[in-house]
């Protein structure tokens, strides 16, 4: 049985991967960036970079989704040593949540202190437009409600406590800094903050589901991010979350609009420059 198909990992598995990576580069990252669908260009911001394909990394799963390159990129961003994931892992690819979040604990063992997560999301809030950027202030973890939580099973105190708090999942200081930078860069008109809801996917949402999520207070919906944030907070990492609104959800039965992945990728291409500039400045000033 391959490592990626196991239900859980032990401390030695994570440490083996981290030690192997430390042997491949002199970069000692303090910031990790997880790039969402079509947002892998964020890694191009790095200088002195070295790219390591996931297939070469011990115990690492493989990314199978279009728009996810499938490699770790180490380098420097505005003088800060960073690592970028070009391609994340999803529940809908057949991975359990422990496998999908495997890299986050590896980052912790590499010495990472701050995790920046980006994603492509469907806009539920009627005031959001396609191409807007949402600062994640909170999340709704629907797979977690169904028992699919990456912290299920044995707890290793070397990573974190048995019952971690999630009411402060997203760092308020980083959020304030990001809002300030968005205003300085003149993109505050397309910048919002809101609640991200994770569903398992891979299907886009039905009209009834979109109506329900709106009633529950969700502003955007996607198929990733939340398990990574849960594991990051368990490890004590600071978290900044950014959603690029790549499509408007269909909430009207008479609508002719359909959610398609091609629209997601096209919107990310349209807004890549603004998001990259935002992340670059946040890392510089944090």
Q: Which domains does the chain have, with CATH numbers?
A: 3-285 (3.40.50.1580)
Active-site residue (options: 51, 259, 261, 266): 261
234: annotated active-site residue: no
Which residue in the list 247, 248, 251, 286 is annotated as catalytic? 247
Out of 4, 54, 68, 198, which one is annotated catalytic? 68
pTM: 0.91
Range with lowest mean pLDDT among 10-24, 39-53, 133-147, 241-255: 241-255
Take residue 90 and report the two structure tokens written for it.
């999803």
Mean per-residue pLDDT over the chain, rounded: 89
Distance of CA 211 to the CA centre of its chain: 25
119 tagged catalytic: no
Q: Is 11 a catalytic residue?
A: no
Catalytic residue among 54, 90, 134, 220: 90
- Please tell me which of 2-11, 143-152, 226-235 the model is most confident about, judged by mean pLDDT: 226-235
**Mean pLDDT computed over 65-77:** 80
- Residue 253: per-residue pLDDT: 78
What is the SS3 assignment for 115-134?
A: EEEEEEEEECCCCCCCCCEE
- Which of 223, 232, 248, 286 is catalytic? The answer is 223
Residue 2: is its pLDDT beyond 60? no
Beta-bridged to residue 116, according to DSSP, are 33, 240
State the Cα–Cα distance between residues 96 and 4, nearest whole angstrom.
Answer: 9
At 248, the pLDDT band (50, 70, 90 cuts) reads: confident
**What whole-number distance in Å separates Cα of residue 5 and Cα of residue 7?**
7
- Give the end-to-end CA distance of the chain in Å, rounded to a whole number: 42
Q: Is 224 a catalytic residue?
A: yes
Q: Is 223 designated active site?
A: yes
Given the residues 4, 18, 43, 93, select the one marked as catalytic: 93
SS3 32: strand
Q: Which range (65-69, 112-116, 208-212) has the least confidence?
A: 65-69
Structure tokens at 229: 């944030």
- DSSP SS3 for 166: coil
Of the candidates 224, 243, 251, 281, the residue annotated as catalytic is 224
The mean pLDDT of 186-190, rounded to a whole number, is 85
**Active-site pick, 18, 85, 100, 120:** 120
Handedness of CA 229, 183, 133, 27 (dihedral sign): negative
Residue 106 has pLDDT above 80, yes or no: yes
Predicted pLDDT of residue 63: 73
Nearest to 29 by CA among 70, 71, 77: 77
Please provide the DSSP assignment of 40-90 as one string: GGGGGG-EEEEEEEGGGSTT-----STT---EEEEEEETTEEEEEEES---
Supply the pLDDT for residue 131.
87
Average pLDDT of span 79-97: 91
What is residue 231's predicted lDDT score, i.e. its pLDDT? 98
Which residues fall within 8 angstroms of residue 234, CB to CB, at 6 or more apart? 151, 159, 160, 161, 164
Q: For this structure, is 16 an active site residue?
A: no
Q: What is the rounded distance in angstroms from the CA atom of residue 159 to the CA atom of residue 162?
A: 10
User: Is 80 exceeded by the pLDDT of residue 3?
Assistant: no
Among residues 76, 92, 214, 266, which one is catalytic? 92
Residue 5 has pLDDT above 60, yes or no: no
68 counts as catalytic? yes
């Amino acid at each position: 049985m391959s490592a990626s198909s196991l239900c859980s990992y032990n401390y030695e598995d994570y440490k083996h991967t981290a030690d192997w990576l430390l042997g491949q580069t002199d970069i000692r990252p303090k910031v990790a960036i997880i790039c969402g669908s079509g947002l892998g260009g964020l890694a191009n911001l790095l200088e002195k970079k070295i790219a390591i394909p996931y297939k070469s990394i011990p115990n690492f799963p493989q990314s199978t989704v279009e728009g996810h390159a499938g490699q770790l990129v180490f380098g420097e961003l505005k003088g800060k040593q960073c690592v970028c994931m070009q391609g994340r892992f999803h529940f809908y690819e057949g991975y359990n949540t422990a496998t999908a979040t495997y890299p986050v604990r590896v980052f912790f063992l590499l010495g990472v202190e701050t995790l920046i997560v980006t994603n492509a999301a469907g806009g539920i809030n009627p005031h959001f437009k396609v191409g807007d950027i949402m600062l994640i202030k909170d999340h709704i973890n629907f797979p977690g409600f169904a028992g699919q939580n990456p912290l299920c099973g044995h707890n290793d105190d070397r990573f974190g406590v048995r019952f971690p708090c999630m009411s402060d999942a997203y760092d308020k200081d980083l959020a304030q800094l990001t809002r300030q930078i968005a205003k300085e860069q003149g993109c505050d008109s397309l910048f919002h903050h809101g609640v991200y809801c994770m569903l398992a996917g891979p299907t886009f949402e039905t009209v009834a589901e979109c109506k329900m999520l709106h009633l529950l207070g969700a502003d955007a919906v996607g198929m990733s991010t939340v398990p990574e944030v849960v594991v990051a907070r368990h490890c004590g990492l600071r978290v900044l979350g950014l959603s690029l609104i790549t499509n408007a959800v269909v909430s009207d039965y008479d609508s002719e609009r359909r959610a398609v992945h091609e629209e997601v990728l096209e919107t990310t291409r349209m807004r890549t420059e603004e998001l990259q500039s935002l992340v670059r400045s946040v890392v510089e000033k944090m």
